């Protein structure tokens, strides 16, 4: 009876630990991570995007990858989630939060005058030194692989995570078996590529104002709705539950990830040096990183295939996993 109780207790604690994830000192900071599936299977390292913690990956997406005999690693990038927050809220932002709404609106309009350049693209000129860059963020993922004694992995990156994945392939090529890049770019300042839509810029401003007033769930909802394409209408009630999970994991609205992107070299001229098989997945209605960015990657990375999703925005709809997951599995398994 005593042995049974010990077994039950141990099983419970192991399950609890898996659910809560792990925090490990890696690359000089604390990194929160989770492992799903059999570590003896090919490893897919998932890297999420700007201002987004690991909970943005849907449970269904992770479960489907594991069901296809993949070992899945997810982690919170630095400055977000339960990993170390490098940056804190600037005193100016704290002060702005106490101002009347009309002054907050004036401040946001002023700030957005610097965020975008004359062409309507993100302004990559950063007036202050960045505390880290995409190379540092790539090294966080490599350090996690080192910690788990995984010699190489299939890197799946979304948005900024796709930028980090490109840096991994360029700077740590021996550790990268393949790339899967969701709605990402070689650089926002790549000549000839489109900037964000005007409607998305308006949503960014609204979300910024909502965060200033402490309405974090509403801020996330506005952003998510703006990122969603027309093919699968946005379900606000369902998303609010997801937003609560993301907020519980931790969202640092003052993170320096945008500065990290700006502090990192444009990769357009280096794409020819990515030799790993690469799968590009991009929606035709992406309002943040328009689909021409994905097409550019497809045309400039040598060994590349693509999946262009009609009517899809800056998102991975669960409704399309039946199409997306088999393609990723085939892409990965062909390299093992």
Residues 6+ positions from 215 with CB-CB distance below 8 Å: none
pLDDT in tens, 196-212: 999 999 999 999 999 99
**pLDDT higher than 90, residue 126:** no
pLDDT in tens, 225-260: 999 999 999 999 999 999 999 999 999 999 999 999
Query: Does the domain formed by 1-336 have CATH 3.40.50.1820?
Result: yes
Going through 87-219 in order, the beta strands assigned E by DSSP cover 153-158, 176-182
**Distance in angstroms (rounded) separating the CA atoms of residues 267 and 331:** 23
Residues forming beta bridges with residue 180, ordered by sequence position: 156, 279
Q: What is the pLDDT at residue 13?
A: 38
Q: What is the pLDDT at residue 129?
A: 75
Biggest CA pair distance of the chain: 73
**Band (119; pLDDT cuts 50, 70, 90):** confident
**Distance in angstroms (rounded) separating the CA atoms of residues 185 and 164:** 10
**Distance in angstroms (rounded) separating the CA atoms of residues 132 and 228:** 30
């Amino acid at each position: 009876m005593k042995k049974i109780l010990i077994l039950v207790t141990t099983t419970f604690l192991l399950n609890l630990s898996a659910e809560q994830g792990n925090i490990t000192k890696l690359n000089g900071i604390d990194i929160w991570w989770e492992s799903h599936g059999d570590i003896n299977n090919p490893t897919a390292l998932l890297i999420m995007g700007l201002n987004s913690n690991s909970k943005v990956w849907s449970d269904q997406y992770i479960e489907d990858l594991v069901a296809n005999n993949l070992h899945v690693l997810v982690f919170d990038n630095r400055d977000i989630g339960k990993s170390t927050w490098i940056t804190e809220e600037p005193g100016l932002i704290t002060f702005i939060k106490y101002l009347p709404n009309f002054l907050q609106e004036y401040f946001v309009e002023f700030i957005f005058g610097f965020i975008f350049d004359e062409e309507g693209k993100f302004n990559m000129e950063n007036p202050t030194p960045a505390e880290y860059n995409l190379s540092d963020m790539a090294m966080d993922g490599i350090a996690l692989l080192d910690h788990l004694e995984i010699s190489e992995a299939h890197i799946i990156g979304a948005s900024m995570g796709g930028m980090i994945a490109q840096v991994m392939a360029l700077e740590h090529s021996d550790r990268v078996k393949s790339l899967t890049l969701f709605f990402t770019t070689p650089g926002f300042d790549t000549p000839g590529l489109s900037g964000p839509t005007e409607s998305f810029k308006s949503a960014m401003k609204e979300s910024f104002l909502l965060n200033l007033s402490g309405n974090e769930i509403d801020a996330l909802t506005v952003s998510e709705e703006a990122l969603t394409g027309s093919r699968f209408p946005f379900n606000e009630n369902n998303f609010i539950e997801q937003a609560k999970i993301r907020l519980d994991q931790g969202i640092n609205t003052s993170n320096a990830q945008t500065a990290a992107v700006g502090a990192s070299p444009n990769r357009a001229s280096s794409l020819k040096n990515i030799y790993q098989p690469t799968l590009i997945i991009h929606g035709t209605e992406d309002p943040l990183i328009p689909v021409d960015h994905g097409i550019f990657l497809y045309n400039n990375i040598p060994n590349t295939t693509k999946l262009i999703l009609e009517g899809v925005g800056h998102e991975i709809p669960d409704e399309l996993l039946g199409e997306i997951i088999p393609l990723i599995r085939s892409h990965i398994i062909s390299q093992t």
